[in-house]
């Protein structure tokens, strides 16, 4: 097994939040959590950080897995 395959653990774990409820979920944060998280600015900021982080780790993991980076 390629040792770089471990980098794909983060995006795979992110899929649990993304596919919560059995379908693709664009808002993996959901309605729960503290009140400060659900102000419009904070909610959008945390969503942006989640999607940027998930996409970046998926891209880097795949590039490293195939030896392109």
What pLDDT digit, counting tens, does each position of 3-39 carry? 778 889 989 999 999 998 889 999 988 888 889 888 9
Tokens of 32: 């729960």
- Closest alpha carbon to 32 in 24, 23, 22, 20: 20
Tokens of 58: 């998926």
The yes-or-no verdict on residue 58 having pLDDT over 70 is: yes
Tokens of 38: 């659900």
State residue 1's pLDDT score: 66
State residue 33's pLDDT score: 85
The yes-or-no verdict on residue 63 having pLDDT over 80 is: yes
Average pLDDT over residues 44-60: 95
| Whole-prediction pTM | 0.85
């Amino acid at each position: 097994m390629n040792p770089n395959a471990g980098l794909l653990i983060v995006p795979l774990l992110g899929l649990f939040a993304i596919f919560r409820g059995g379908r693709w979920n664009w808002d993996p944060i959901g309605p729960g959590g503290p009140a400060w998280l659900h102000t419009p600015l904070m909610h959008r900021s945390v969503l942006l950080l989640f999607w940027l982080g998930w996409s970046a780790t998926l891209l880097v993991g795949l590039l490293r897995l195939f030896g392109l980076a």
